[in-house]
A and B are shown apart, each in its own frame.
Chain A
Amino acid sequence: MGGELVVQIRGVRKSFGANQVLDGVDLDVHKGEVVVVIGPSGGGKTTLLRCINLLETYDEGSIRVDGVEVGFRDGGNGVRQPRRDRELARIRADIGMVFQLFNLFPHLTARENVMLGLRKVRGLSAVEARQTAERWLTRVGLGDKFESLPSQLSGGQQQRVGIARAVAMGPKVLLLDEITSALDPELVGEVLSVVQELARDGMTMIVVTHEMTFARDVATRIVFMEAGRIQIQGTPREVLSTTGHDRLKAFLARIEMKHH
């Protein structure tokens, strides 16, 4: 990948109490890449994703998005100090995230959900924000649902609003955290095809998923995480046809069994 470096992760460690969730993670993501992170639950995938926009803090190491250290600022003499809310808000505005449970704002309509960040963070006028929101909602196939409250939408529709809310901000990287896990099987396709379209348009993404077919189709690179480390990474073909890695083989076999 020759594109510019968007996310640079170096030696990141994190523990919840005695449980070492991330145990020295290094990962580079370049512009336009779609990095799919797979691996067993508890292997640190979601935690890694949540560290990138600091929904979780990390104890050691460095995460840079577009060159800016996310979790810490330089307090002088190389001392790392936690960032203030205001700085974090500015950094997070450029990092999109879509959640497993959608997390739409239930008191706002689909359009208002997308508009909120555009108005309050990007400072767009009501008219501009409305146009941008409607354009994105239309692109994810919800052109007739502007006025709907989340409670009036299906899971698949809600998740597409979630995607529109994230991409409308024009993020440098989009983080997708098991975005189809909470959906009925027949609604998974409509969400994944939106993601595929974003990938085609060159959106830089880091995707945590259990959908292996989707991973194979959309990924420019697959990363296998287990025990808080990246065990193996490469193109989908390389990783999914690897025979030399026992734990990856075991994981893929388990996934296969679940789906057949």
Chain B
Amino acid sequence: MLFALQSLPFLWEGLLLTLEVSALVVSISLVAGIILGVGIVYGPRWLYWPIRMYSDVLRGIPLLVLIFFIYYALPLASINFTNFVSVVVALSAFETAHIIEVVRGALQSIPRGQNEAAKSIGLRFDQRLLYVIAPQAVRRFLPPWINAVVDTVKGSALVSLVGIVDLMLAIQQVIGRTYKPMPLYVLGAIMYFIINYTLSSASRHLEARYAYIRE
């Protein structure tokens, strides 16, 4: 077990990178997904189809294919990202497509009468969204969004395939030196599990906070 302990600082570096990639992707896709999701539900018709296409196409492509595409294809078009940027772009683009659908579902779960009542007291669009729709939609939004966050953390392991030393690649490199795959993969699995279990527990607490709205 000693080698596993000795490898911990190195794995820690990888873990931090995994968390960094995940945090970036979660933030970017949250902002982009909310904007595009609001656009698809309340926006004009000319906005609907491009967003619909984007979401459908991106969700239909395996994440790994998308990562390789952005990694290899964009330089051909003279767009040169660093490895790190290109995987963050690929993961964010992919997650955004999913968040759009989560936002759309949450917004459409709010009865039409809510928006009408908000209009009837003279609230503007942004006020209706902020004070009436969003507080109710949050409850529908949280569970699938947390799933998407967990998927992001897991999906971020794919960045190891373009040579970024995240938790996954760090584990593989230690295995490369020690030839002891099992203990290290078990250790890695435990680390991923701890991150994601923490996330889902946190989400259960959050959901409980929004339980005031009856179904």
A binds B: yes
Identify the stretch in A28-36, A99-107, A137-145, A244-252 within 8 Å (CB) of chain B at 4 or more residues.
A99-107
Contact: A85 with B124, CB < 8 Å?
yes
Measured CB to CB, the closest approach of chain B to A103, in angstroms, equals 4
- Interface presence of B2 (CB below 8 A): no
Contact: B214 with A99, CB < 8 Å?
no
- Interface presence of A5 (CB below 8 A): no
Within 8 A of A (CB), among B128-182: 131-132, 135-136
Measured CB to CB, the closest approach of chain A to B107, in angstroms, equals 15
Contact: B212 with A107, CB < 8 Å?
yes
Within 8 A of A (CB), among B108-123: 111, 113-114, 116-123
Which residues of chain B are within 8 angstroms of A68 by Cβ–Cβ distance?
Answer: none
- Interface presence of B81 (CB below 8 A): no
Which residues of chain A are within 8 angstroms of B213 by Cβ–Cβ distance?
Answer: 106-107
Which residues of chain B are within 8 angstroms of A120 by Cβ–Cβ distance?
Answer: 123, 127, 131
- Interface presence of B125 (CB below 8 A): yes
Contact with A along B80-121 (1 / 0, CB 8 A): 000000000000000000000000000000010110111111
Within 8 A of B (CB), among A115-145: 116-117, 120-121
Contact: B136 with A55, CB < 8 Å?
no
Contact: B122 with A89, CB < 8 Å?
yes
Contact with B along A61-100 (1 / 0, CB 8 A): 0000000000000000000000001101110111111010
Closest 4 CB pairs of A and B: A93-B122, A117-B121, A103-B117, A103-B113
User: Would you give 11 A-B contacts (Cβ < 8 Å), ordered by A?
Assistant: A85-B124, A89-B119, A89-B127, A93-B121, A93-B122, A105-B118, A106-B136, A106-B213, A116-B121, A116-B123, A166-B121
